[in-house]
Amino acid sequence: MNIPHLTFQDLLPVAPAGVLVVGAIVLLLSEVFLSTAQRTYQAVIGTLTALLAGAVAMNNAFEPARAALQGYVVLDPFSQWMTVLVCLGTALASLLSAGFLNHRNAERGEFYALILFSAAGMSLLAMSAEFITLFINLEVLSISTYALTAFLRRGPRPAEAGFKYFILGAFSASLLLYGAALLYGATGSTRFLDVGLALPQAFAQQPGLVYAGFGLVLAGFAFKVAAVPFHMWTPDVYEGAPTPVTALMSAGVKAAAVVALVRTFLFLVKGLSPEVPFIAFSALALLSMVGGNLLALPQRNVKRMLAYSSIAHAGYLLLGVAALFAPATAKGSDAVGLFTATPLLGSMPNVAASVYKGLLFYLLGYTVTALGAFGTIAALERREDETRSNTWDLERFAGLAQRKPGWAAAMAAFMLSLGGVPPTVGFLGKLYLFGAAVDAGLLGLAVAGVLASVAGVYVYLRVVVYMYMRPAPADAPAPFRHWTTEVALIASAVAVVALGVLPGPVTEWFSRAGMVFGS
Amino acid sequence: MSHTVPTANYLILAAVLFCMGMLGVLLRRNALVVFMCIELMLNAANLTFLAFARERGDSIGHLSAFFIIAVAAAEAAVGLAIVIAVFRSRGTVNIEEIQSMKH
C-alpha cells in the first residue's frame, strides 16, 4: 500500500475549486441557521466567494505549467485563466439571480450553492488530465446545472427544460465515457500523458478501437459545447431555464467544455493522421457558425435567438480549435478551401500561443456580454409571464430607449458586442481569434466565419432597432429594480466597452497562456 | 485460464448493450425508459472498463467502475426528481407530449 505523497504545490491548482465548494457549504448552512425573510445576503456571499476564488486562480495563473496530483490534473495558465473567467461569470450570475429570484419569492441558499458547485465543476473540468477525473467533474458541473435549470417550479417550462437537458447531458456523458473506456482498452491508461505516449503504437495495432474512442469522445464534447449537429437541446433548454442560469450555462459551461476539449485532444491526436482532427473540428466549426447564425435569423423570441447565437459563438471558438490542430504540412499547397490550411509564408508558423490568447479573450468577451444580455432579458421578465408564450418577444424591447435610456444603452452595447462591432470586447475577441485562424492558414474557414457573423449582425441590430426606433406599447411594464441586478448590468456594460477600447494588461496576461501543459 | 470467457465476448456484449441503450434513448417515448437506457449505456462503459482491466490485470479500470457507479447514482437522484417535476406539471412522462416550446 503506497500512499502518494502530496505537497502544497499539488493542491495549488484545485485551490479555487476548494474556495468555491467551501462557499457553497456556507450557503447551504446559512439556509438552515440564518433563514430570514431578506435573503439578498446569500447572493452577496455567492458573489464574494466567486471573486475570492477568481483571485486565487489569478494568482495561480502566473505559475509555470506543470502536472499536479500525480498527473490527474494540470496547473497551467490556460486552465487557471479559464477559472478566472468562470468565477467572473459566476459572480455576475449570482448578482443577477438575487433580483430575479426575489421577484419570484424563490430565493434560497441552495440556488447559490448549486451555482458555486457548478462553477467548481467547471474549474476542475478545465484542468482535468485523466478520463475519470474529467468524467466526474463533467458530472459535477452537469448535475448542478440540471438542478438549477429545473429550480423554479412554477409553470411547465423549467421542468421541461431540465428534463431535456438532463436526458441529452447524460446521453453525451455516456458517449464520452464509452469512448474513454475504448481508449483505455487501446492504451492501458486513463491518464492523458500516458494515453498520448501509448497512442501511436495502439493506433498501429488497433486503429478501429482508437478511431471509435476518438469519435465518441468528440461527440460527447460536441454536445456539451452545443456544436451543430449536436445542438438540438440548446434552444429549448436555454429558453426554459431561469434566465440567470441560462446566462451561466451559455458562458461558463461552454467555456469549460471548450478548454477541456482542447486539453483532451492535445493528447488524443498523437499518432493519428493530422488531417483527421483538423477536418473534424473544421466541419463542426463551419456547421455551427453557419447553422447558428441562420437559425437565429427568423427568431422573434429574444431569449431563443440568443440561444442560437450561443451556438454560433461555439462555432467561432471551434474555429480557433481547428486552427490549433491545423496540419503543419511542409509542402504548402496553394489551394484555398474550406477544409485546407494554406500556409501564408510558405511554412507553417506556430500559432498555438495566439490561438490560446484568442480563445481566452473571446471567452472573456462572451462571458461579460452574455451575462449582461441575459441579465437585461431577466430584468424585463414579469412573474406573471411564466405561462405565456410571448414572454421574450421582440415587442418587449420596443421603445425601451425612451422608457429606460440607460438599460437600452447597455443592451445595445451587449448586442453590438455579440455581433462583433467595434468598439466592444466582442470585436476584439473576434479579431484575435480570426487573426489566429488566418495565421494558421485557415483562409476559407475564416472567410466563411466572417460572412456568417455578418448575417448574425442583422439579428442583433434588430433588437437595437426595436429599442430605439419603435414606440413603446401603452401597457409596457417597467423593468423591476433591484440593486444587485443594476450592479451586475453596470459592471458587465462597463467591461464590454472598456475592454473593447483598452484591453490593457489583459491581452498581455492571456499571451502567457500560450504555455499550455502538453502542447 | 483456458476455461475463462475471452475478453472479446465481454466487449461484444458491452457494445451490444451500448447500442441498445443508444437506440432506446433516440427512439423510445417513455421518459423512464429513456432514463433506463442511459443507465444501460453507462453500464456498457463500465463493463468495457472492467473487461480491459481484467485482461491487463491492472486496477485503474476497476477503480473507474466504482467511480462511475457512484456518479450514476447521483445522476439518477437528480434525474428522477426532474421526471417527477415533469409529471407533476403535466401528468404525463411521454416525451412527445413534453413539447411546449416553439421551434
How far apart CA A217 and CA A220 sit, in angstroms, is 5
Task: Point out the residue among A136, A163, A171 whose CB comes nearest to the CB of B82.
Answer: A163
Q: What is the pLDDT of residue B96?
A: 83
Tell me the residues of A at the B interface, defined by beta carbons under 8 Å apart.
131-132, 135-136, 139, 142-143, 146-147, 150, 153, 155-164, 166-167, 170-171, 174-175, 177-178, 180-182, 184-185, 188-190, 235-236, 239-240, 301, 304, 389
Residue B90's CB is within 10 A of a number of other CB atoms, namely 15
Q: Is residue A170 part of a domain?
A: yes
Residue B16 sits at the chain A interface (C-beta within 8 Å): no
pLDDT the model gives residue A330: 46
Residue spans of the domains in chain B: they are: 29-97
Phi-psi category of A246—alpha, beta or left, where left has phi over 0 and alpha has psi -120 to 50?
alpha
pLDDT tens, residue order, chain A (519 aa): 567 788 888 889 999 999 999 999 999 999 888 767 788 899 999 999 999 999 999 999 988 888 888 889 999 899 999 999 999 999 999 999 999 998 888 888 899 999 999 999 999 999 999 999 999 999 999 999 999 999 988 778 889 999 999 999 999 999 999 999 999 999 999 999 999 999 999 989 989 999 999 999 999 999 999 998 999 899 999 999 999 999 999 999 999 999 999 999 999 988 788 888 999 999 999 999 999 999 999 999 999 999 999 999 999 999 999 998 888 764 455 666 777 777 666 556 678 888 999 999 999 999 999 999 999 999 888 777 766 767 788 888 888 888 889 999 999 999 999 999 988 999 999 999 999 999 888 888 999 999 999 999 999 999 999 999 988 887 777 777 889 999 999 999 999 999 999 888 888 888 876 567 765
Tell me the residue type at A23. G
> From the list B81, B101, B103, which residue is nearest A157 (CB)?
B101
Region of A295 (left: φ > 0; alpha: ψ -120 to 50; beta: rest) is alpha
**Residue A372 is which amino acid?**
G
Range of the domain at A233: 11-514
Contact A184 B49 (CB under 8 A): yes
Distance CA A115, CA A90 (A): 7
Task: Judge whether A482 and A232 are in contact, CB under 8 Å.
Answer: no
Residue A268 forms part of a structural domain: yes
Instruction: Mention the CATH class of domain B29-97.
Output: mainly alpha
**Residue A173 resides in a domain:** yes
Which letter does DSSP use for residue A251 in this model? Answer: I
Number of domains in chain A: 1
B52: nearest CB among A146, A167, A185: A185
pLDDT confidence of residue A26: 95
CB A58 within 8 A of CB A91: no
Whether B76 and chain A come into contact, CB under 8 Å, resolves to no
User: Is B63's CB within 8 Å of A132's CB?
Assistant: yes
Percentages helix, strand, coil for chain A (3-state, rounded to 5) are 75, 5, 25
Rounded to two decimals, the ipTM of the complex is: 0.95
Contacts of B28 in chain A (CB under 8 A): none
With respect to residue A4, please indicate whether it lies within any of the assigned structural domains.
no
Q: With contacts defined as CB-CB under 8 Å, which chain B residues touch A236?
A: 101
Compute how many other C-beta atoms are within 10 angstroms of the C-beta atom of residue B29. 12
Give the three cell numbers for residue B82. Answer: 426532474
Is the minimum CB–CB distance between B103 and chain A shorter than 8 Å?
Answer: yes
Residue of B13, B90, B101 to mutate, testing the A interface (most A Cβ within 10 Å of its Cβ): B101
Residue A352: its H or E element: helix A352-380
Cα A218 from Cα A342, distance rounded (Å): 25
Cα(A123)–Cα(A80) distance, rounded to whole angstroms? Answer: 8
Residue B90 to residue A174, Cβ atoms within 8 A:
no
CA distance A65 to A69: 13
* Among A248, A236, A234, A245, residue whose Cα is nearest residue A152: A245
DSSP letter (8 states) at residue A229: T
Query: Given an 8 Å threshold on Cβ–Cβ distance, is A190 in contact with B44?
Result: no
Residue with cell 452595447: A413
Q: SS3 sequence, A113-171? A: HHHHHHHHHHHHHHHECEHHHHHHHHHHHHHHHHHHHCCCCCCCHHHHHHHHHHHHHHH
Q: What is the pLDDT of residue A308?
A: 95
Residue A167, in any domain of the structure: yes
What is the spatial distance between Cα A381 and Cα A386, in angstroms, rounded to a whole number?
A: 9
What pLDDT score does A18 carry? 96
Mutate to test the interface with A, among B56, B60, B94, B95 (most CBs of A within 10 A): B60
Q: Label residue B3 by pLDDT band (50, 70, 90).
A: low
**C-alpha to C-alpha distance for B45 and A88, rounded to whole angstroms:** 36
Domain assignment present for residue A519? The answer is: no
Least reliable range by pLDDT among A19-33, A329-343, B4-18, B36-50: A329-343
Query: What is d(CA A321, CA A433) in angstroms, rounded to the nearest whole number?
Result: 10
Closest chain A residue by Cα to residue B80? A163
pLDDT tier at B97, thresholds 50, 70, 90: confident
